[in-house]
């Protein structure tokens, strides 16, 4: 299985927008997002992915097939963070792997790739009611801490 993570160029932003629709639908049972009168889920910071210098939108592919996305922010000052007290923190704001690829190591690979590619302190935001996401990130963070002590 070949997993790749690439930045989404502005010219392909419609691909990310479509994936965000799937993501919002998938997570609506936990976060209460509702469709607008056009039948779409809004994402307040969508265009900011290309206008804010610190944001990075990535598309995830498995064997060439789109399988998800991850939206991160790099070197965010501590006054904008909820938990981190570091001067600058990297943030995973949205992380979505399509159901077809879950529990196959794709999310784990992407998370570790991000941590490796962008070193530093990380904060991960998730919906409290999404227990599956909580367990996933708990496992990722626990393994990251274990690996860093070796």
The pLDDT of residue 74 is 95
Exposure letters 101-123 (e unless 16+ CB within 10 A, then b): beeeebbbbbbebbbeeeeebbb
The pLDDT of residue 128 is 80
Dist CA 139 CA 25 (whole Å): 25
**What are the structure tokens assigned to 99, written together?**
């159901």
**What are the structure tokens assigned to 105, written together?**
């190591």
Residue 150 has pLDDT above 70, yes or no: no
pTM: 0.88
Residue pLDDT, tens place only, 100-146 = 999 999 999 999 999 999 988 898 988 888 888 888 888 888 876 55
Instruction: Of 78, 91, 80, 8, give the one whose Cα is nearest residue 46.
Output: 8
Helices (H), 1-148: 13-31, 48-51, 106-117, 131-148
With contact defined as beta carbons under 8 Å apart, do 127 and 30 qualify?
yes
With contact defined as beta carbons under 8 Å apart, do 77 and 87 qualify?
yes
Dist CA 146 CA 150 (whole Å): 7
The pLDDT of residue 145 is 56
The β-bridge partners of 77 are: 88
Q: Of all helices (H) and strands (E), which one includes residue 73?
A: strand 65-77
Q: Which CATH class is domain 3-148?
A: alpha beta
DSSP 99: G
Dist CA 85 CA 62 (whole Å): 35
């Amino acid at each position: 299985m070949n997993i790749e993570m690439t930045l989404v160029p502005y010219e392909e932003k419609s691909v990310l927008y479509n994936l965000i629709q799937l993501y919002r639908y998938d997570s609506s049972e936990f976060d209460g997002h509702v469709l607008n009168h056009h039948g779409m889920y809004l994402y307040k910071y969508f265009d900011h992915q290309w206008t804010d210098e610190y944001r990075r939108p990535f598309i995830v592919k498995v064997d060439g097939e789109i399988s998800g996305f991850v939206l991160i922010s790099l070197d965010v000052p501590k006054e904008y963070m909820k938990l981190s007290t570091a001067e600058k923190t990297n943030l995973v704001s949205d992380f979505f792997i399509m159901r077809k690829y879950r529990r196959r190591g794709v999310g784990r690979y992407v998370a570790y790739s991000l941590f490796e590619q962008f070193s530093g302190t990380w904060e991960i935001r998730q919906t409290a009611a999404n227990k599956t996401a909580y367990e996933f990130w708990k496992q990722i963070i626990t393994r990251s801490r274990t690996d860093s002590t070796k």
